[in-house]
Amino acid sequence: MSSFEMVAKIAALQDYAQYRDLHWEGSFEDYLSLVRERPQITRNAFQRLYDMVVSFGEEEYIDNKKRLVRYPFFSDPIGLGKDAIFGLDIPLMRLVHVLQAAAAGYGPEKRVILLHGPVGSSKSTIARLLKKGLEQYSRSAEGALYTYKWVNLKDTGLAGAEGEDEFPSPMNEEPLRLIPVEWRERAFKDLGLGNDRHRLAVEGELNPACRFIFKELMLRHGGDWAKVIAQHIRIKRVILSEKDRIGIGTFQPKDEKNQDSTELTGDINYRKIAEFGSDSDPRAFNFDGEFNIANRGIIEFVEVLKLDVAFLYDLLGATQEHKIKPKKFAQTDIDEVIIGHTNEAEYKKLLNNEFMEALRDRTIKIDIPYITKLSEEIRIYQKDFSVERLRGKHVAPHTLEVAAMWAVMTRLEEPKKQQLSLLQKMKLYDGKVLPGFTQDNVKELRKEGKREGLDGISPRYVQDKISNALVRDGVEGYINPFMILNELEKGLRHHSLLANEDARKKYQELIGVVKAEYEEMVKNEVQRAISADEEAIGRLAANYIDNIRAYTLKEKVKNRYTGRDEEPDERLMRSIEGKIDIPESRKDDFRREIMNYIGALAIEGRKFSYDTNDRLRRALEMKLFEDQKDSIKLSTFVSNVIDKDTQDKIDVIKGRLIKHYGYNEASANDVLAFVASIFARGDVKD
């Protein structure tokens, strides 16, 4: 393939139709036609941002009897989930409600949206998602927006010494601002622009540079506005881009001694002074501060409360009045969403600083806490340590789960109900059903925990420790829960954010709680693997059903080996029923319940199977496990002296762990050795 052919192959990937759409240019009259067809192209920044979020859909669901809305946008469909937010549906719903109210002009559009929460709680990710979404939306037909540029300036004396023929709007303003304010509303009405759904409400005046050019051209053309617009204005489409500094700005406070307000509102271009003759000529000013370039879009303030007090005046004006004050020029109208984020320590300073009262009054605070739902925390680590990213490293089952379990428990407050443990509280929050607790109890628990999610361990710490375990010397291609728990515990000694010794001690104790819970999890898992012999469990089920049928009908059971009629085997029945805590006083009810269930199925022409009744299935599995664990002699695993028959049985169990539970050879060996050590010390719970 020649070099020309290779270039042609790459060029074929380009979408020329899309390129033409994104670089559309036309006259002011063309633009008015577009506005008549699609008045939404004139939306303000809040309206556009809100429409962008809901354009990805809304999903309603019920949680603890409460109607919630989930917004798929925050799952990052644009980045294929790279910046997905998990477990924060309620805070995100509050954020979208603020945007909705601001879009409707109900007041929040005159406030700073402040994302507040502990370090590592996704505040920056939320801001990044909004910026990324707005960029993408501006490239779509639904999110299109337009600005203008001045043309044919060479012969007007307005182009400067270098004689440029064009002067683009430095702040990418809405073209309808070219219609003077005093005519604007009447013009919209007479032209029939806007409709009930999208009412045109274009506010504000031209920026100082464009205002200067407009006034000079009006003088030159004898006040003929139509001639000025027809000869000197071209409309073009705007594509918002953070990298190109168009419509999306980010401001991060630097050292207090070096903070300069021109970073926000622009500065004089000293090279242009020679062209235009004066530093008060607006054409000699760079409207390139973060507020200027973020016009029509969004500006993010990183750690906003670290701003120098002098900057706050600019921020307050931009927020309340939607105006900024560039050096030496009149106040300039802006249209942008102002979003900031800060951590707990900085926010406490704000509350205690009387000079910041004006900012507090103009702030809508949205708490972004840590996740307190286990299944959502697990999703964070599954995303970061997926099979694709691990490149052959194996993560044993429950490894990420125990890490998430510990992280979530550090964020919860001790329950006030004495009979409830922190572990049980975590399970209730995750939607598990515990005897004696209802959804109302969960709501009550959440109300009690006023600071839950605002304290505790961040996901970053856990991610770092998982990474440590993955690259640690001596790890043979995989990690398991104990490796992670050991890393988490070791790291607590040097954790920079843990100055409180009581908290450190509590977190270490929680490591022990998680280890104990993990023991129960793997014992149950090995138990299920041992009792997964379908034929054996089927025989046990048939035997049990024969006995309870005879018992409820007051008949005898034929012994399948001797052929003699015998009394129902009470010992067998009770040994199975005891596994699921059926007391002696309830055994008759349980047996009749099973028989009634079998009868109901028969009437429908369906055959009974033990696994259609979850309680019976669990009881049979636990009974079979008890019967087989001694014959398998799993406890001999720890002695490394295993006869061939036992080894064959262990290999079958290991195969089940690999096939059905996600282990590999090494991790299955380890978990069997661990459970065997529990059997060896006699620590077995049915």
| Residue 329 φ/ψ, nearest 5 degrees | -130, 165
pLDDT at residue 609 is higher than 70: yes
Q: What is the pLDDT of residue 476?
A: 65
Q: What is the pLDDT of residue 515?
A: 92
Same domain flag for 103 and 231: yes
Q: Which residues does 560 contact at the CB level (< 8 Å), separation at least 6?
A: none
Report which secondary-structure segment, H or E, holds 565: strand 565-566
Of 521, 390, 515, 369, nearest to 450 by C-alpha is 369
Q: What HEC string does 225-256 produce?
A: HHHHHHHHEEEEEECCECCCCECEEEECCCCH
> For the chain, how big is the Rg over CA atoms in Å?
35
Same domain flag for 180 and 63: yes
Question: How many Å separate Cα 399 from the centre of its chain?
Answer: 22
Task: Write the DSSP symbol of residue 156.
Answer: G
| Residue 294 φ/ψ, nearest 5 degrees | -85, 0
pLDDT at residue 637 is higher than 70: no
- Boundary of a domain, candidates 622, 653, 670: 622
Report which secondary-structure segment, H or E, holds 578: none
Of 476, 471, 502, 499, nearest to 487 by C-alpha is 471
The answer to whether 311 and 261 have CB atoms below 8 angstroms apart is yes
pLDDT at residue 638 is higher than 50: no
Q: What is the pLDDT of residue 680?
A: 63
Write out the two tokens for 243: 């990298």
pLDDT grade, residue 234 (50/70/90)? Answer: very high
Kindly state the average pLDDT of the residues 182-208: 87
Task: Write the DSSP symbol of residue 394.
Answer: E
**Does 616 fall in a domain?**
yes
Q: What is the pLDDT of residue 327?
A: 83
| CA–CA dist 111, 109 (Å, integer) | 6
CA distances to 294, 302, 304, 531, 639 from 311, rounded to whole Å, are 17, 14, 10, 69, 71
pLDDT at residue 686 is higher than 50: no
Q: Which domain holds residue 217?
A: 23-369
**Average predicted confidence (pLDDT) for the chain:** 84
Q: Where are the alpha helices (DSSP H) in 563-664?
A: 570-577, 587-603, 614-632, 644-661
444: helix, strand or coil: helix
- Percentage of the chain beyond pLDDT 70 is 90
Kindly state the average pLDDT of the residues 452-478: 83
Same domain flag for 118 and 205: yes
**Does 140 fall in a domain?**
yes
pLDDT grade, residue 158 (50/70/90)? Answer: confident
Same domain flag for 135 and 275: yes
Kindly state the average pLDDT of the residues 64-79: 89
| CA–CA dist 95, 113 (Å, integer) | 8
Write out the two tokens for 608: 């009974």
Q: What is the pLDDT of residue 677?
A: 77
Strand partners, 236: 25, 147
Region of 122 on the Ramachandran plot (φ > 0 left; ψ -120 to 50 alpha; else beta): left
Kindly state the average pLDDT of the residues 274-299: 86
pLDDT at residue 639 is higher than 70: no
pLDDT at residue 279 is higher than 50: yes
Kindly state the average pLDDT of the residues 209-224: 93
| Number of domains, the chain | 3
**Does 686 fall in a domain?**
no
Same domain flag for 363 and 395: no
Same domain flag for 190 and 297: yes
| CA–CA dist 453, 91 (Å, integer) | 12
Write out the two tokens for 414: 């001790």
pLDDT grade, residue 160 (50/70/90)? Answer: low
The one-letter code for the residue type at 579 is: K
Candidate from 30-44, 75-89, 651-665 with smallest mean pLDDT: 651-665
The answer to whether 204 and 322 have CB atoms below 8 angstroms apart is yes
Write out the two tokens for 332: 């300039």
pLDDT grade, residue 126 (50/70/90)? Answer: very high
Region of 176 on the Ramachandran plot (φ > 0 left; ψ -120 to 50 alpha; else beta): alpha
Region of 537 on the Ramachandran plot (φ > 0 left; ψ -120 to 50 alpha; else beta): alpha
Same domain flag for 333 and 405: no
| CA–CA dist 474, 488 (Å, integer) | 18
Q: What is the pLDDT of residue 150?
A: 93
Q: Which residue has the higher pLDDT, 600 or 222?
A: 222
Same domain flag for 188 and 248: yes
Q: Which residue has the higher pLDDT, 201 or 642?
A: 201
Q: Which residues does 527 contact at the CB level (< 8 Å), separation at least 6?
A: 621, 622, 625
pLDDT grade, residue 598 (50/70/90)? Answer: confident
Kindly state the average pLDDT of the residues 290-296: 93
The answer to whether 102 and 46 have CB atoms below 8 angstroms apart is yes
Q: Which residues does 364 contact at the CB level (< 8 Å), separation at least 6?
A: 98, 108, 111, 112, 113, 114
494: helix, strand or coil: coil
Find the helix packing angle between 501-530 and 614-632, rounded to 10°. Answer: 80
- Boundary of a domain, candidates 369, 404, 434: 369
Same domain flag for 454 and 309: no
| CA–CA dist 305, 623 (Å, integer) | 62
Of 122, 131, 134, nearest to 367 by C-alpha is 122
Give me the CATH number covering residue 171.
3.40.50.300
Q: What is the pLDDT of residue 119?
A: 87
Residue 271, number of CB atoms within 10 A of its CB? 9
pLDDT grade, residue 630 (50/70/90)? Answer: low
Kindly state the average pLDDT of the residues 265-286: 81
Write out the two tokens for 498: 């843990």
pLDDT at residue 129 is higher than 90: yes
| CA–CA dist 456, 568 (Å, integer) | 57
**Does 339 fall in a domain?**
yes
Q: What is the pLDDT of residue 154?
A: 82
- Boundary of a domain, candidates 493, 517, 541: 517
Q: What is the pLDDT of residue 501?
A: 80
pLDDT at residue 632 is higher than 60: no
Sign of dihedral through CA atoms 671, 677, 678, 680? positive
Q: Which residue has the tokens 């501006």?
A: 138
- Percentage of the chain beyond pLDDT 90 is 36
| CA–CA dist 650, 377 (Å, integer) | 34
566: helix, strand or coil: strand
Summarize pLDDT for 383-425 with one digit per residue, the tens.
888 877 777 788 889 999 999 999 999 999 988 876 888 998 9
Candidate from 364-373, 447-456, 599-608 with smallest mean pLDDT: 599-608
Summarize pLDDT for 669-684 with one digit per residue, the tens.
888 888 877 766 655 4
Same domain flag for 347 and 437: no
Q: What is the pLDDT of residue 346?
A: 80
**Does 524 fall in a domain?**
no
Kindly state the average pLDDT of the residues 190-216: 87
Question: How many Å separate Cα 521 from the centre of its chain?
Answer: 28
Q: What is the pLDDT of residue 163?
A: 60
**Does 636 fall in a domain?**
no
Same domain flag for 566 and 598: yes
Summarize pLDDT for 132-144 with one digit per residue, the tens.
999 999 999 999 9
Q: Which residue has the higher pLDDT, 64 or 653?
A: 653
Write out the two tokens for 363: 């702030």
Summarize pLDDT for 296-348 with one digit per residue, the tens.
999 999 888 777 777 777 888 899 899 998 888 888 999 999 999 988 878 87
pLDDT grade, residue 350 (50/70/90)? Answer: confident
Strand partners, 300: 250, 339
Q: What is the pLDDT of residue 643?
A: 66
pLDDT grade, residue 477 (50/70/90)? Answer: confident
Counted residue by residue, the chain has a size of 686
Kindly state the average pLDDT of the residues 486-512: 83
**Does 17 fall in a domain?**
no
413: helix, strand or coil: coil
Burial class (CB in 10 A: 0-12, 13-18, 19+), 536: middle
Write out the two tokens for 130: 């909004």
Q: What is the pLDDT of residue 685?
A: 45
Same domain flag for 508 and 611: no
Of 413, 340, 428, nearest to 114 by C-alpha is 340
The answer to whether 247 and 291 have CB atoms below 8 angstroms apart is no
| CA–CA dist 374, 399 (Å, integer) | 13
For the chain, give percent helix, strand, coil, nearest 5: 55, 10, 35
Longest CA–CA span in the chain (Å) reads 121
Of 49, 301, 47, 291, nearest to 172 by C-alpha is 291
**Does 522 fall in a domain?**
no
| CA–CA dist 230, 31 (Å, integer) | 12
